[in-house]
Amino acid sequence: MSKAIELLTRMHAVRSVTIGSRGRSNLTGDVILAVFAQVQHKQPLGMDLLMAKYVHDAPAVDRIIDVMPNWLNDESFRRKDLALALSCIALDVFCDKPVASQKRQLTALWRNHSDQAKRSSWLIKGWQIKIKQLQRDVDICGMQAAEERLLSVINELEVLVINERRRIDEYARSQSLKSVTCPRCSGTGLMQSGKCSSCDGHGLFSPSTDNIRQHLRHIGLGRVSDKLWDSELRPWLDNCLSRMHIESNEAVKLLSDKLYKESAS
């Protein structure tokens, strides 16, 4: 990660930041924000792409989506609706967000292998052990009042189990939307026994062609023929990703140059 990107993320993670330079005055937060504004003016798409990828800025994502239809003006696609949908998918891929078919797999991994999942499993097993012990006490209990108290406690524990399972399911679903990093190996691609079997040692889930075509079906655009995919849609997807990388790299270069000039002045 470049210094400019690191600074971009830090400026949006804390209220203020300064960068020291030897023998010179610091770059203040106001100066840094002014540089960001200058780059936003000169490279609006590139800066929005950086904000979308590294800061998860929703307004920046909206601005990018708003300009995407203009990319199709000079194109003669048979299915412009599919091309526009692919532009949005390309943005997700650029921002390292999973597509629909990957979310199910990531949700399962977060549910079974995350630290939260391990905590939930420990809690649920503990409650289930208590429930079994109390059920045995109910079987041998000779007093109705005592039996009712035991059944009430069992009911409370069963509610805890249900709520905890619901909580970890919601947590897993929310985490699956944020990143393509493998939760089982934490992005390293390695386990104690060797290569991570969930991500095949890659550490993340980069969407394949099949993943993207399945995503088009998932959002209701139907199946895509091999001919249409090969002749129009796959080249357009590559074109969008290339454009995003070029625009964002130009914005990073401009950011770095301006920050360097400010720190040297």
Residue 207 tokens read as 């969407």
- Three-state SS at 18: coil
Q: Which residues of 176-198 are buried (b: 16+ CB within 10 A; e: fewer)?
A: beebbbbbbbebebeeeeeebeb
Confidence of residue 23 (pLDDT cuts 50, 70, 90): very low
**Which pLDDT score is estimated for 27?**
66
The average pLDDT across 125-145 equals 88
CB within 8 Å of 137: residues ≥ 6 apart: 150
Query: Would the pLDDT of 263 be above 80?
Result: no
Residue 217 phi/psi, 5-degree rounding, is -70, -35
Q: Could you give the CA distance from residue 177 to residue 95 in angstroms, rounded to a whole number?
A: 11
Q: Give the rounded distance of the alpha carbon of 19 from its chain centre.
A: 29
Confidence of residue 18 (pLDDT cuts 50, 70, 90): very low
pLDDT in tens, 197-244: 888 888 888 777 778 887 887 777 767 788 888 888 889 999 999 999
Spell out the residues 6+ positions from residue 242 whose beta carbon is closer than 8 angstroms to its own.
Answer: none
For all residues of the chain together, what is the average pLDDT?
84
Higher pLDDT, 23 or 213: 213
pLDDT category at 156 given cuts 50, 70, 90 is very high
43 is written with which tokens?
A: 């490279």
Q: Report d(CA 180, CA 3) in Å as an integer.
A: 24
Question: Mean pLDDT throughout 38-56?
Answer: 90
DSSP annotation of 99 reads -
**Exposure pattern of 120-137 as b/e (b: 16+ CB <10 Å)?**
beeebeebeeebeebeee
pLDDT in tens, 71-95: 988 888 878 888 888 998 899 889 8
Q: What tokens were used for 152?
A: 């009430």
pLDDT at 43 > cutoff 80: yes
pLDDT at 127: 95
Q: Which of 96, 79, 77 is nearest to 179 (CA)?
A: 96
pLDDT of residue 49: 94
